[in-house]
Structure 1
Amino acid sequence: MKKKTLLLIMVTSIIFLTGCWDMVEINQRIFPYSIGVDINEGGDEGKYLVTISYPNVNAIGKNPSQEEQVYIISTTATSIFEGSRHLATRVQYPFYFKHLRVLVLGEELAKDEVLVRQVMDGLNRDFAINKKVQVAVAEGKAKDLIETKTERQEVIEGTIFSLLINDKASARFTSQTLTDFIKSTDANGVALVPKAISKKDEIKISGGALFKKYKFIGYIGELENRAISMVKEKVNRELVETEHNGVTLSYSITDLKSNKKLITTEEGMKIRISIETEGALQEYILEDRPTINNDEILNSMERAVEKQLKKELEKTIEVLQQKYNADALGIAEYLSKFHPRVWREVEKDWDTIFPDIDFEVSVDVKMRRRGLVR
């Protein structure tokens, strides 16, 4: 009786056991780490030109069997996913986008709001794609950027991805993930994406591309990007150079705090931006000059750096207000969070109000360290 009962339990349990019926071995998948999307200039076989790069697994390891580290293929299609299906007929295994690292938008495609929305919406809805994908805009074609072969090509993650995540040591560009891009656009109507430049055997990430309501409207330089990063408190370490008594003065920022304050006046809305920094003296010629132990000299240096940073901030604000009418500083987000009543009053007319806002900028610089040489 016990044997029959045990046998019945074993047979019944088999019914509820599941197998890996759809399992695919890791060596039977292709893992792209970069996708470039351009406008198909021909337009006959789809509006997009999709370029995918993926590592050659046979070139990885101590004893690689092949020299070519990266494969790059392109096709025209009506969407990124249709493009991947087209390309799947030309490669040995199917694509698996779980480990996708970088999305590069071509300059001409980025100018089309509808196409950008379609690309972002498709990637955001797909459950397999990591939403931390880094977004960049190519100065020119995304295909040309991805096809650039550098001398220091990283096989696993790719040169572009390695450069994009390296903004922690500099504020000359601001890394932007797919999620951040969508959130920033929804909150402020504006997103700032790194600009990628391809020159011969080198890729450079410099400055940023401004998007307003999912449409590329223009580029900003490295110093303007730094000013925006300071206002949004996204500066970790940065080097500021200015002139002091005819000599180049280098100041290394090690800590930064930013504060925004709404001031209502009879003339209208005013935003006060206060920046406080701490850092170290990085470089300054001492020959035939007083020692930096002199507090008067040190204070004078701090004022020189304050003047330089304030000038950069005011110039950047002017560019954002008058040239682009783009709230990349996050003022709309600040008002909606901390002054909701005011935001409800100005939200509908924000495009006409933002260019006329009065900004008051103050910068406080402290040199806490002066290095080994005094």
Structure 2
Amino acid sequence: LEQLKYNKQNGRIATWISENESENGPLPENVTEANNTIEKFIVDSNPDALKKTKNNIEKFDQMEAAVVLSDGTIVDGNRRFTALRLLSKEGKGQKFNYIKAVVLPNQTYSPKEIKALELNLQHAKEERVDYNPIDRLVDIYRDLLSESSAFTPEEYATEVDMPIKDVKKEMELAQLLVDYLEFIHQPHKYYIARQQNLNGPLREIQRILKSKKIEEDDAQDAKELLFSTITTVTGDATRKIRSMANVITNRELLHNTLDELDETLNDLDESFESEFVKDNAKERHTIEVPVEISGKINNVVEKKIETTRLAGAQKAPLEALGKANNFMGNVDVRALKLLADGSAEDNEEIKILISAIKSKLNEIEETI
């Protein structure tokens, strides 16, 4: 174990690496110190999964080989490596002082080939996909969208055994994540997105922004209004964003909301540079804007959401009438006549239903 080292580019701990770099600078050059730091990331990122792996290895030994480079870098098996390190420290026995692994000569493979192998091993098997969703998006951004990206979408889709359309959808989501962090003036501080649990809200934003009801000229404003809401909402952010769909896709209502919040959104942007917000981002890894700003945004947004709900309720009778008409169109008259001719009981039930429908139509017509 002492001859091995964690892969600093491992996608499972992308947000933890960014957090450490933001607070403490780059990881130590000393392998032992770097390993100790990354071990903590692995433990904290998914303690339940690590405990399960550790217990399994202690009980059944190492059932699956890791993959390492000849310089000691772990390509696949970081969790197993961590579990063995912990068991070794606990003095559980000599067999936990080493890892069973396939060893590859690192001089033979390019960085891209090594990353492709990692993707294949860690993503292609369905049961192995247990990344934190935000770490997964960071990995996709690095591999496909950043300046140093090495893969085309087609290559990436092949390595992770994923439809190309799904890869492109995840790329859009990864870009949305980066856009959000830039919006709050915390570029590439991915750990904030992890702390805010943004996977759900971002997916809702992605779905809303794909609506054909949104004019191209309004797309950026719509996105920033949704981002603003994320920073101010308390409770279930995913549900709140979902409830904004009818506000964002109604151009008049969207513009009214933006006009009403014009000065407040400017104040929000300025607050992102304030010491209050910066200190919270650094200490608590989240964004907490001044109460007067968040209160104003929440009140206006909730008022607009309620407007769409009332409009929906007012249109409900018309929608019900439309559905009734559609259902009537589905009635096969010839089949109904066969039922009426073939059974006196069916004939009587048909007459009762026709009478009820006529009565309701008369009531509607007379009222209107």
Structures share fold, TM-score greater than 0.5 = no
- The structure with the larger Rg is 2
TM-score for the superposition, normalised by structure 1: 0.28
Report the structure, 1 or 2, having the larger strand content. 1
TM-score for the superposition, normalised by structure 2: 0.28
